[in-house]
Amino acid sequence: MYYLHIDKTLKTPIHRQLSACIESAILNGTLKKGELLPSEDQIGRTFSVSRTVVRRAFLELSRFGLIDQRQGQGHFVKQVQGYPDLLVDPHSYTQTKNESIKSSFILKEIISSQDELPLMIGSFNTDKLLRLKRIHTSSQELIFIDEWMIILEGSKSLEDEKLILSLLDDHRLIKESILEIQGITIEDSLLLSQSKNSLIYLISQDFHDENGRLIAHYKAIIPSSKTQLSVKVTAL
Amino acid sequence: MNYKLDPSLSLPYPTQLKNHFKAAILNGEFKDKAILPDYEFLNKTYGFTEDMVRKAYNELIREGYAKRIKKTGVFVHHTFVVDHMIEKMTPILEEIHNQGYKATLSDLLIEVVKSDEELNSRFGFKESQDLLHLIRLFKADGIAVLWMDAYYPSFYLKQIELESLKGMSIYPLIKQASGCIPTSVDKNLSAINLNQKQSEILDLRKGSAGGMITGSTRDQNNNVIEVFSDIIPADRLRFIIK
């Protein structure tokens, strides 16, 4: 139980502290798949907190799909399905690697580049951007979200998004994609049914045309529980 | 400060300006977390247009040398490119130095511990043994940037000179003490919420995002000689996939 810490002087509710400790222990691999968690009674006695508090923490964790409750046996760490390929190229993943993954659009809107978002992705010399957001699900489980930001020129309109995406597939010249670790936003945490303090891998790519002009920006939001990156290096 | 723009160069002005800022950051003129001059100041003093400075700053931000905080300004902020670190044998600290950033040892803790079950399995021990537990904290410009937590079998490092630990790598020490040459390493990058202890040491709020590189190093005889976990605040990490 060394991964559990409770600080009663904090304003954070104790059940939240407990669930956060267990959650990060599961995500960083301290707790392995199928491992039995300490009982409610055990935790309650060790930290002198009531069983109700511990129960609430477990309830929260099972709602996030991190643990399993088995009657008469206790709480077990649930099998977290990993998709290591996601980190390398989330975009091609949906098209080739696994056919059972379904993608659907949840947001289509035109934003003006005066908003703060385009500032993050460089200097656009246009005042209109098309923003598309998709979710990718596999057998009722949401795997990741991705978002396109496409520069609109002249005749292209909202209805053309399929055309635009196919254009991007043909002409994309990606130099590199960048992976970062970030806290999840509230909006995305609801979509991905993750807890508010869970983490995401953010993969961003810039798309350029033949003349090197920026035509679109792509980002994928992958919950950190879904994937992990491991490498073996050998000295020569 | 001298920001001279050269019209005879084929480089666009914003890029030239960005290079001036980048050089100033790398040679320490601007320290980590320092605010960069605002548009108005640069306009009045040097006559640069706001658009040009904005473009220069955006390039600086995209290259990982600065960070924009909404309605506050642009701040120096070093990010480390992790793909180098994860795909090479070199320890993370040397990589950070190679990327032009000067992090120095600020805190050091050495203790001898008995290995628990988890460590036994990672080292391949049949029974509990003495391990050397080494925690090192590195700071740059007074800001904690890296926490290294590592275990070594104590028989590899019987005579440690505290002074020598201030150097960058521990591998030469291992080699000197035991003749073991580190030859392969398994590395694993994961995202973690910093716990109480980690956040206190790195001087961040509890639960903030961190990147953890865990792994184990093996010598030429395939024995595990090191089990480590390095923690960096997540906003300093970038992974470039080519």
CB A113 within 8 A of CB A127: yes
pTM of the predicted protein model: 0.70
Strand partners, B131: B113, B153
What residues of A are in contact with residue B89 (Cβ under 8 Å)? 233-235
Do residues B64 and B99 share a domain? no
A28 and B55 in contact by Cβ < 8 A? no
CATH (domain of B183): 3.40.1410.10
Separation of alpha carbons A199 and A218, rounded Å: 19
pLDDT at B174 over 70: yes
Establish if A199 touches chain B: CB-CB under 8 angstroms.
Answer: yes
- For residue B184, is it within any domain? yes
Predicted confidence at residue B176, as pLDDT, reads 77
Q: Do A119 and B58 touch (CB under 8 A)?
A: yes
Q: How confident is the model at residue B163 (pLDDT cuts 50, 70, 90)?
A: low
| pLDDT of B166 above 80 | no
Interface contact flag, A230 B191, Cβ < 8 Å: no
Chain A / chain B CB contacts < 8 angstroms? 116
Residue-wise pLDDT tens digits, A122-173: 445 556 777 888 888 776 677 788 888 777 765 555 555 666 666 566 555 5
Angle between helices A51-63 and A14-27 (to 10 degrees): 50
Q: If you average pLDDT over each of A134-138, B36-40, B87-91, B168-172, which comes out highest?
A: B36-40
- Cβ separation A177–B240 shorter than 8 A: yes
Q: Nearest residue of B to residue A29 by CA position?
A: B190
Give me the pLDDT at residue A116, please: 47
Structure confidence by residue, pLDDT tens digits, B20-31: 998 888 888 888
d(CA B171, CA B181): 8
Of residues B55, B190, B237, nearest to A123 (C-beta): B55
How large a percentage of chain B has pLDDT more than 70? 93
Residues B164 and B53 in one domain: no
- For residue A163, what pLDDT is reported? 61
Answer yes or no: is pLDDT of B135 > 70. yes
pLDDT band at B237 (very low <50, low <70, confident <90, very high): confident
Q: Is residue B5 situated within a structural domain?
A: no
Q: What is the domain count for chain B?
A: 2
CATH, residue B34 = 1.10.10.10
Within-domain flag for B3: no
Among B44, B59, B76, identify where a domain stops.
B76
Chain A partners of B205 at a C-beta cutoff of 8 Å?
none
> Residues of A numbered 15-34 whose beta carbons fall under 8 angstroms of chain B's beta carbons: which are they?
20-21, 23-24, 27-29
Please give the pLDDT value at position A118: 46
Residues of B at the A interface (Cβ-Cβ below 8 Å)? 54-55, 58, 61-62, 68, 70, 82, 86-89, 182-193, 195-197, 207-212, 214, 234-235, 237-242
Residues 6+ apart with CB under 8 A from B78: B25, B32, B64, B65, B101, B140, B145, B236
Query: For chain A, which domains are there?
Result: 14-77 (1.10.10.10), 84-226 (3.40.1410.10)
B86, B59: one domain? no
Query: In terms of domains, do B68 and B187 share one?
Result: no
Range of the domain at B234: 80-238
Residue B167 pLDDT? 62
Separation in Å, CA of B63 to nearest CA in chain A: 11
Q: Which of B191, B188, B187, B183 is nearest to B221 (CA)?
A: B183
pLDDT over 70, % of chain A: 64
Q: Distance of CA B134 to CAs A74, B107, B187, Å?
A: 37, 11, 19
Whether B26 and B54 map to the same domain: the answer is yes
Q: What is the ipTM of this complex?
A: 0.71
Where is the domain boundary, B28, B46, B76?
B76
Over residues A22-76, the pLDDT tens digits come to 877 776 667 777 788 888 888 888 888 899 999 988 888 887 667 888 888 888 8
- Do B142 and B38 lie in one domain? The reply is no
Q: What is the pLDDT of residue A119?
A: 46
- Yes or no, beta carbons of A5 and B195 under 8 Å apart: yes
Cβ–Cβ contact A89 with B under 8 A: yes
Q: Name every chain A residue with its beta carbon within 8 A of the beta carbon of B234.
A: 180-183, 199
Q: Taking residues B39-43, report their average pLDDT.
A: 89
Structural domain contains residue B124: yes
- Computed over every residue of chain A, the mean pLDDT equals 74
Q: Mean pLDDT across chain B, nearest whole number? A: 83
* Residues in B touching A3 (Cβ below 8 Å): 195
Which residue of A123, A199, A234 is in closest CB contact with B193?
A199
Clarify whether residues B170 and B209 are in a common domain.
yes
Mean pLDDT lowest among A214-218, B144-148, B161-165, B231-235: B161-165
